[in-house]
Every structure is written in C-alpha cells, then in structure tokens.
Amino acid sequence: MKPYNSLLVLLFGMMLACVILIFRMSELKDMFSFLTLTRIKPTEEGPNTKYTYETQQARHDQLQKFCSTHQNIHYTRKYDANLMYSQKQKIMYCHIPKVACSTWKKIMAYFLGLLKSPWKDVTLAELYGFDIPSFQTASNLTINQIKSNKNYLSFMFARHPYDRLFSAYRNKFLDPVNLGYLKHYGPMIISMDVNPLSHRKRSDGLYRITFEQFVKFVIKAGPDFDDHWRPQTRICHICDLDYKYLGKFETMEIDANYIFKTLNESLKFPKMTEYKLKTTQILKKYYTELPQPLMKQIFEFYRNDFDAFGYD
C-alpha cells in the first residue's frame, strides 16, 4: 500500500511541477513580448512576403545590436513634430528630412483626409500647413497610449548617410528651388574656407558652394545644427520607441507598398529605378573628389547611422 501511496504522491508532484512550469512560461512570454512586437510576421500573401519578413528580421536585429551598446544615446530634444500619428488609422510615423519625408507627409495628410491624393503636387507652404498630429503637441497620456498600443503600426525610413548628405547639398546649395539656405548659410560656409580662390559667385550674386566646402561646414557645425543633415540616429528615438516596421529609402517601393497593404490602402508607391541609377553615378563623382582625411571625418560623423541601419 505504501508503494502505491508513494506513486500517487510522485505523480501529483510531477503534475504540480508541470502546472507551475506552464504558468512561469506564460509569465516569461508576457514579460518578453516587447521583443517580438517589432517583428513582421510572415504570411502567405504577396510576392515579397519572404523578402519582407527576412529583411525586417535582419534590420531589427541590426538595430537591437546597436541599441544594446548605445543605451545612453544622446537626444537633443524631446518628442517633437518629427513623430506624426493618426489615431484613426492607428499609425505612427517618424519623418527624417531627406528620406522622402515630403512624400510621406502627403501620404499622412491623405490618411487624415486632408488630401484627395497623396501623389498630388503641393507647394511647401501647403505641405507645412497640413494639421498633422505630432508628439510635439500631444499630451503625455496620448503619447503613452500610442507607445503601448500593440495595434499601432509604427514605422520609419532610413537612408544611406552619404546619399542623404549629398541630397541635402544638392537640394539646398547646388540646385536649390528655394534660395533661403544659400542666402543664410552661404556666407557662413565661405567664411570658414581659407582659400580665397574657391570663393566664387553665381549669376545672381550668391556664393557658389562646393560639396567639399559644404561637408567641412557640416562637420565643424556639429551633428545638431540642421535636421537636413543631422544624423538619423539623433532624430527618431530609435532605441526608445519600438518601431514595428523599419523601412529604407533604397527599398522604398517595396516597404511602402507593404505598409499600404497592412493598412488596407489601395495605394502603390511610384517606382524609383531611374532615380537610383542617376544618383549612384552622381554620388560616385562627388565623393571621389573629396580628400581622404575628409572622407574619414564624415564617416565618423555618421558612424552611428552606418552601425544602426546596417549601411556599408
């Protein structure tokens, strides 16, 4: 009889241990669920599903690796207008200047019913006039609700640092639509160049700024001087906010269309093939003309961007 009782006690003990183990596993799953919030789950739909899932895994792993060694990464400001959201669509987007941010502002305006089409041409005044909700004016309660809501699709786009820097130069100094930067920063940039032979003016009397002069100015002015060339790792609070989707400028079409599909929007992002081919050739020309010591300086300036987003 005693062996039988001992067997019952043993079985009861094993069952109790299993129950406790299951309970603890459930607790652990809840505790570490935030680690999987940013992962895009694979589905059977869409031609780029495998690419999207594997690419997102790699991008999140890269960012997590960066954040694990940069826990005290410096942010110069609190949550601001770069972090846009729509409570109706349940989306949060961080826009980074020179990473198709004007296009995405129009898309956000479209989501909010402020534009009939996101592909419509609008002036800069109209673009900045859109009343798009942002963390800059949101209450702490709203921000915390968005951050903790698993149903929100939070996303951002990064761009190769060298490509983005040249885009800022081309748009603001080389071939500007608006002369504001040339008028305001041109004399400042020229004053830093000790070689008077390189001080040339355009037909309108404004200084002609070379790429080398611009790059030297960017480095000397520091990383927080202007958003258009500020390192991307200093803009979107990447180690604080849990982005579900990490897009890249280089794969914008695929990434954007996946986001549209997730939101049940019948939009198609414009193709960028021709732009990429032209840009690659132009970039090579301008960067090969920079002195090697300056190239090393600009790499160090954007080192965190290279490491966080996996650029070479």
Tens-place pLDDT, residues 255-279: 999 999 999 999 999 887 655 656 7
Residue 85 three-state SS:
strand
Q: Which residues pair with 84 in a beta bridge?
A: 93, 134
Query: For residues 226 and 217, what is the distance between their CA atoms, to the nearest angstrom?
Result: 11
Separation of alpha carbons 300 and 291, rounded Å: 15
- Name the residue with tokens 């992002």: 269
Beta-carbon count within 10 A of 192 CB: 11
How far is 224 from 157, CA to CA, in rounded Å? 19
Low-confidence stretches of the chain (pLDDT beneath 70): 1-50, 74-77, 196-197, 273-278
For 218, the token pair is: 């960017």
The dihedral of CA 236, 137, 130, 168: what is its sign? negative
**Model pLDDT, residue 10:** 55
Supply φ then ψ for residue 234, to 5 degrees: -105, 10
Q: Write out the two tokens for 115.
A: 């534009």
* Counts of helices then strands in the chain (DSSP H, E): 13, 6
Contact (Cβ atoms closer than 8 angstroms) between residue 56 and residue 40: yes
